[in-house]
Structure 1
């Protein structure tokens, strides 16, 4: 799987990356290029998926970009590692299984840093669950399958300023919070975290990918 590392270019404009993602998606779907992981840090932006409700954006002055992924409204910005796996899916297109694979890759990554993370029943993403505390989401996930090829992906809070989530109801969930790796005592750059996440993604996504001999 090839890597399109936009982190080396600094923070990226959302519209420019979205256009780049869609061009890459078309090429992967057509078999013109290899499966790719896009690694990104965005300029501040709020995006709204297909399940966004008006009440999820209580501040009418928040500029929101509608986008064709699942999930509700979320925030992307400095200190957050965003990964878009663009892969051609082999066999059954099981979106739930694919989301679980992304979650597991992040759970395994966080375990390397001594962070115990997991899933919450009925809620997508990766969570920090502690007795007597609100559940806190550390990684949001929103994906789309089109032409048997995946789009969008995950957003992991590494050193994110969590105050930027306060203008929305993140992912439409009112009885939970958000957290970053920094808040949990891990101080790492996005490049360092990405380098350790990529192998976990490659391992978890291998079963979804079209075998090389079928793309030759």
Structure 2
């Protein structure tokens, strides 16, 4: 079976909120198992209870109000917030079978999220020099609607992306999200495009073939 085939990837969709530390331990164990050839690759879609996570580049001054638990995530990037109403996608893939190209992996995730948002009627894009997924907020200014943060251990990936469906946006004010002070954070609900987590998952997974094709360096429909 080709490594580009979606049949090689397990899809897990959690309806319950998974504590962040529990998810981190599960990811680490799965990462090791994939690396040993003892488990399938995994895309895990879920939500967390409120938590601030610190990436490897997080600066102490960007933690403004630690009203929630703060967890060292081990991924790239800075501080971010996860909580109810935000859909997380953890992507555990074996890049030894998919080109060993971390930059292409990140770009493929970005394109996957951007294309899915487009499918539900929200124009989104990458922004030069700013990590994440961006769109136009209700006031016409650019705002962040999705975050990207990954880690690669022995060519097997961990972490992934988050998309704001309908979180409490006030929770982001406890940090400088991803170290970017001059732009706000938005959500599908704020933009007047409310979407249930199950519907988001379906739209995202409809693009799984495109994501895997892009990751494997093949032509795809992703931006």
TM-score normalised per structure 2: 0.86
- Counterpart residue number, 2:34: 28
Paired residues, number: 207
In the alignment, does 2:11 pair up with 1:3?
A: yes
In the alignment, does 2:39 pair up with 1:43?
A: no
Q: Deviations over 1:120-175 (max 9, x none)?
A: 11112110147984421100000011111100000000111111001110001011
Deviation at 1:84, TM superposition (A): 0.5
Whether contact under 8 Å (2:104, 2:215) holds in the other structure is: no
Deviation at 1:34, TM superposition (A): 1.3
Deviation at 1:62, TM superposition (A): 5.2
Matches within 5 A, 1:3-152: 3-7=11-15, 10-59=16-65, 63-89=69-95, 90=97, 92-129=99-136, 133-152=140-159
Whether contact under 8 Å (2:164, 2:186) holds in the other structure is: yes
Which is worse superposed, 187-196 or 51-60?
51-60
SS of the equivalent of 1:188 reads coil
Between the aligned partners of 2:139 and 2:85, the Cα distance in structure 1 is 28
Provide the alpha-carbon RMSD of the alignment.
1.9
SS of the equivalent of 1:27 reads helix
Whether contact under 8 Å (2:165, 2:189) holds in the other structure is: yes
Whether contact under 8 Å (2:87, 2:165) holds in the other structure is: yes
Q: Deviations over 1:61-88 (max 9, x none)?
A: 6531111101100000001000101100
Deviation at 1:208, TM superposition (A): 3.7
Give the 3 Å change call, closer, same or farther, for CA 181–160 of structure 1 in structure 2. same
Q: Structure 2 stretches of 5 or more lacking a match?
A: 1-8, 217-223
Q: Structure 1 stretches of 5 or more lacking a match?
A: 210-216
Matches within 5 A, 1:167-186: 167-186=174-193
Whether contact under 8 Å (2:135, 2:144) holds in the other structure is: yes
Give the 3 Å change call, closer, same or farther, for CA 130–50 of structure 1 in structure 2. same
Between the aligned partners of 1:103 and 1:201, the Cα distance in structure 2 is 13
Give the 3 Å change call, closer, same or farther, for CA 207–131 of structure 1 in structure 2. closer
Deviation at 1:201, TM superposition (A): 3.6
Q: Deviations over 1:168-208 (max 9, x none)?
A: 10001011111101111111111110111023244213454
Deviation at 1:21, TM superposition (A): 1.1
